[in-house]
Copies of this chain bind each other. A is one copy, B any other.
Amino acid sequence: MGVHEEELPEEVRESVEEAWPLFVDFLKKKEARVTQARKIILTQVFSRHDHFCADDLAAELSSGMNHVSRGTVYRTLALMEEAGLVRVIRDTDVHAHYEHTFNHPNHEHMICDTCGQFIEFSDDRITALVEEACERHHFAERTHRIVVFGTCEQCMQKK
């Protein structure tokens, strides 16, 4: 497990030292292996990134002494998401999904992880709070999107 990490700034090392054991636990519960590549990736994730994309991360790790291949980066990021250490802000689903908005008041969506069903919901209070947040940040809203992921009632009952 000889990962080169001597030049890490203090705060990064601290984050890694807290996050890594969590990932190790997760992997052991899953009977997956604690590997060098996984530690390198976790370290890089907690290093210089606020928001980053998978491909940039892969590029950063494609050379240098802590080399990890693209495929492994993608595979590990998926694991880290499952472990709750990383969050997808903007996901690339296979398809872009649309709906027509004509005669269709603003509403948001819940998507069932199991059956893929879209459930529509709306709440004016949420809309108002989002607007309020935009004002606070002097941000001119064009549109917003709220998606909740989880399990729908029917799929819940089947379990």
Contact = CB atoms under 8 A, between A and B. Distances in A.
Interface of A: 15, 18-19, 22, 45-46, 49-57, 77, 81, 84-103, 108-113, 118-119, 121, 123, 125-126, 129-130, 132-134, 136-153, 156
Nearest to A143: B149
Given A93-B92, A110-B134, A130-B148, A99 B142 contact: no
A15 to B, nearest CB: 6
A153 B141 CA distance: 11
Contacts of A137: 110, 119, 121, 152-153
Residue of A52, A99, A119 ringed by the most chain B CB atoms within 10 A:
A99
Contact of A99 (B22, B52, B112, B129): B52
Residue of A94, A110, A139 ringed by the most chain B CB atoms within 10 A:
A139
Number of copies: 2
B103 A15 contact: yes
A83 to B, nearest CB: 10
Contacts of A87: 98-101, 143
Nearest to A145: B147
A156 B86 CA distance: 31
Nearest to A95: B53
Given A123-B129, A129-B129, A146-B130, A101 B84 contact: yes
A136 B147 CA distance: 16
Contacts of A22: 102
Given A130-B148, A145-B146, A150-B142, A86 B110 contact: no
